[in-house]
Amino acid sequence: MGSPLTVRSARVEDVAQMARVHVRCWQETYRGLMADAVLDDPGFPAARERLWTAVLTDERYRGNRAAVAEREGELIGIAMSGPPLEAAVAWARQLYVLYVHAADHGTGAGRALLQAVIEPAESVALWVADPNPRAQAFYRRHGFVADGAAKVEDGVREIRMIRAVRAPSLMP
């Protein structure tokens, strides 16, 4: 872990690696929470490539921010935020994706990716798997709190966490 971490905006040429990170992180995170048939579907990587290609090239995603974390030229994490899908919500932005390889948890990659796609003063919502104590603790450390909303998507129970707009500090 001694090599430097770089976090930058995602580029179209990153799509294949982004898809691999996405699939691997789902397999690491959701194994036991989601059907193995979904996680091991041979078409899953290609579907993620199509998703990331659209995110980085399609006009309908122009309000999104996508970032990657890389070490020694290999992507180890991905993140994406964008406008909320629901109308008339109390937050300005939604975190849709934040995944880091399990081997890179605790290296600062998650924090750096979060900061790359969310401005400090933005109000934000996200959905996180439940149970997923590590991710929930990460988000709590970054000012998010569960608001009581829950849903089941792809067979996985998720809870919503929100971070209100932070008031500017009066301290230097």
What pLDDT, on the 0 to 100 scale, is given for residue 167? 54
Q: Which of 137, 102, 106 is nearest to 161 (CA)?
A: 137
| Cα→Cα distances 172→11, 13, 165, 168, 169, Å | 36, 41, 19, 11, 8
Query: Which CATH number does 5-163 carry?
Result: 3.40.630.30
34 vs 93 pLDDT, higher one = 93
Residue 29 has pLDDT above 80, yes or no: yes
Q: How far apart are CA 150 and CA 135, in angstroms?
A: 16
Q: Which of 73-77, 86-90, 139-143, 147-151 has the lowest mean pLDDT?
A: 86-90
pLDDT tens per residue, range 51-103: 999 999 999 999 999 999 999 999 999 999 999 988 888 899 999 999 999 99
- Report the Cα–Cα distance between both ends of the chain, in Å, rounded: 33
Q: How far apart are CA 144 and CA 163, in angstroms?
A: 4
